Every structure is written in structure tokens, then in C-alpha cells.
Homo-oligomer: A and B are copies of this chain.
Amino acid sequence: MGTTPPTRPVSVKDVAAAAGVSLGTVSNVLNRPEKVAESTRTRVARVMSELGFVRNESARQLRAGKSRVLAYVMLDASNPFFHDVARGVEDVAEPEDLVVFSCHSDQDALRERTYLDRLAQQRVQGVLVTPVDPDSAALVELSERGTPVVVVDRVSAPGRLCSVAVDDVRGGRIAVEHLLERGHRRIAYIGGPERIGQIRDRRTGARLALEQAGLPPDSLVELATESLTVAEGIEAGSRIAGLSGDSRPTAAFCANDLVALGLLQQCVALGVSVPGDLAIVGYDDIDFAAAAAVPLTSVRQPRRELGRRATQLLLDEATNPDHVHDQVTFVPELVARASTSHS
């Protein structure tokens, strides 16, 4: 027994012929079963399963003019944060009988662009995207050409697109305020690359907190990283451990939890006590943060809610002719744990 020869897929026409009814009736069984007599309906249904009929979504979509697919373009699949957002997207999409496909831009503007183009060609119902550059004209263009777009975790082109974000400036501020309250004065900010807006905003918030405390905003010790990964956190840990007593910061605020966890691990490995020698605050409050060897203080964002709200906006844009673009901003909160406790 080998492979079945590549036979043409079964169409409604085949089903109609085999069941001895018309095309329209088969379609009615599929779409308006209450319009079809019980006996006919079961007969057609049986034929369908015997023949292995599978609806052709392309044809359906061509006729309907729109698809039953949502897409989520992720900025960084290695960061669990975005998976939690994705889960929120599914929470809302599933009851609407929509299917969610994910793509991964990996912080690459070109990849992102390619995916957006493909998705437009697919005529997806809408696109959720955490963009490399929220001010990219491509997003507004896509939206104006008829593919609803919601920007997630960034504020974008006010009035021209919907967006759902968390106030990153505030997040940065409360993180550093927390460290200041704990008595720290030499504070490092670890993050990069510069072009990512979240990273800039969190730093802005950090500086703001210093300023309000009467410290010069440039007292923030900045350690730039190539990306927000565990590896970069480890690297930063080595750099910090290498600093001599006075110039070494007593606390570090990391642009996300992956960096913070890397930093934490390297500190443990190099004998730098956390929080004794170095207090650490992360960002995102991913599940890993609470579970670290020294549980990590972090800025929590309502990740899943972010995905939910974004999807609601997307669906409104897709279906409501009176849709008005909305910019939702959530407020982050600080979750204090051992990595910043009084020693």
C-alpha cells in the first residue's frame, strides 16, 4: 500500500452529485442547516464525510471578500512576554471562530515588512503587530488600504491607528523610584538597542525618577546591550562585576526580565551578592522572574489583557463601520521581590 495518488480534492460539486442534490443544497447544509430537511441534511453530511470533503477556504474567502484569520506579528519570540500577549489574542479570537497565525519579525524591519505584505495579500481580517518602528509609514498604509492594524505594546501614530500599550515611561519611573526608596543612588540602566522604543521610554522614566529625587538625570549609569537576551545580561554582569568598588552601581534596572535574569545568574556565578552588592529590577514579570534563584523584582504589565484588548479593537475596526481609532494605555505595577529587598 503506497501513497494515494494525488487526486483532486473533493468539492461541493462532487458532494452534490454523490448525494443527488444541487450545489446550493450542499452549501445550505454547510451554512444554513435549518433550511434543509432533516433527511437530506444527514444524507449530505454522510456523503461529505465518506468523500472526505474539506471546505476550500480560499474560495470561501474570495466570495466573502474577507478571511477568518488574524495574524500576530511578534517582535521577539524568545521573550515569553509576547506569548502571553498571544494567549490573550486567542482568548478573544477563538469565541469568534477566528484562527490566529503568528509570525516572527525578530526585530528585523525587513522581515516585518515582508510578513505585513504577505498578510495583506492573504486579506487577513486584521493584523496585530508589535512593530520594530511604530512610526513606520507601512503600518498606516496597510491600514488605509483596508487591513485593520492594531499596534501592540507601543503607541503609534495617534488618530491613525489603534494601539494598546503600557506606559513604559511610568514603568521605568516606578522601577527607579523603588530603588531610590531602598536607598540606592548609583543606579545602572541596562538595555538596548537604542532603536527600540520600549527601551528608550523605560530609560526616560528612569531618568525622570532621578530628576524628581533631585539627582542629575545623567547620573544614570548606562550599559548598552545589543539585544534583550539572557546572554547580554550575563555580559553586563561581567562588566559590572569588573568595576571597582566606588564606580560600581549598587542597583541595576534592566530593560527586560531576560536581561535581568542573565545579570542575576552572572552575579551569582561571580560571587556578587544579590541584593547585597547589587539590587536588580527587571521588566515584564515573566513567569521565570518569580522563579529565579533570587526571586526577581519586576515591573508587571497586564500581558494577556494587552492581547485581549488589542484584539477587541481589531475586531471592532474590522466589523464596525463607525470605528474610531483608540489608543489604550495600561498602567504597569511594580512587584517587589527578594532581588531588591533590604539586605
Contacts and interface: CB of A to CB of B under 8 A. Distances in A.
A282 interface: no
Contact of A83 (B77, B234, B288): B77
B323 A123 contact: no
A268 interface: yes
Contact of A121 (B3, B6, B57, B77): B57
Given A77-B83, A99-B103, A99-B115, 14 more contacts: A3-B144, A6-B146, A55-B121, A57-B122, A58-B122, A58-B123, A77-B77, A77-B86, A83-B104, A230-B287, A231-B287, A264-B293, A265-B291, A269-B294
Contact of A102 (B3, B55, B101, B141): B101
Interface string A43-82: 0000000001011111101100001010100000110100
A231 B291 contact: yes
Nearest to A69: B122
A269 B287 contact: no
A145 interface: yes
Interface residues of A, number: 57
A242 interface: no
Interface of A: 3-4, 6-7, 9, 52, 54-59, 61-62, 67, 69, 71, 77-78, 80, 83, 86, 99-104, 114-115, 118, 120-123, 141, 144-146, 229-231, 234, 262, 264-265, 268-269, 287-288, 291-294, 321, 323, 325
B77 A104 contact: no
Instruction: Give me the 4 closest cross-chain CB pairs, A-B, nearest first.
Output: A101-B101, A268-B293, A57-B121, A58-B61
A99 B116 CA distance: 11
Nearest to A80: B78
A114 B58 CA distance: 18
Residue among A62, A69, A294 having the largest count of chain B Cβ atoms under 10 Å: A62
Contacts of A58: 57-59, 61-62, 67, 122-123
Contacts of A144: 3-4
A72 to B, nearest CB: 10
A80 B82 CA distance: 13
A78 to B, nearest CB: 6
B86 A54 contact: no
Given A4-B144, A9-B145, A56 B104 contact: no
Nearest to A99: B118
7 contacts: A52-B141, A59-B62, A71-B101, A78-B80, A100-B103, A231-B291, A234-B291
